[in-house]
Amino acid sequence: MIIEVVGSGCRKCMELEKRAKEAAIKSGIKADVVHVFDVSRIIEMGIVSTPAILINGKVALSGSLPNVDELIVLFREKAN
């Protein structure tokens, strides 16, 4: 699974990256977590509100900062 955290580097975006990495480990799902900072790429993705998460290239959430447990649920849903 590829998890892309999308955001320009603001505090919320950086926190989402931290939580996503923790959730990926705790969920037991094999995942690569990467952070997309490039604004032109973010626009190409169609993201209008950050922070956001894409899972395997599809927007899974946008404009919110879920906690680790919520991310674990999301990752497990998308893994199945």
- Which CATH number covers residue 12? 3.40.30.10
Q: Reading across the β-sheet that carries 32-36, which strands appear in turn?
A: 32-36, 2-6, 52-55, 58-62
For residues 75 and 8, give the distance between their C-alpha atoms in angstroms, rounded to a whole number.
22
Q: What is the pLDDT of residues 18-64, one digit of tens each?
A: 999 999 999 999 999 999 999 999 999 999 999 999 999 999 999 99
Please count the structural domains in the chain: 1
Q: Collapsing DSSP states into helix, strand and coil, what is residue 56?
A: coil
Supply the pTM of this predicted model: 0.91
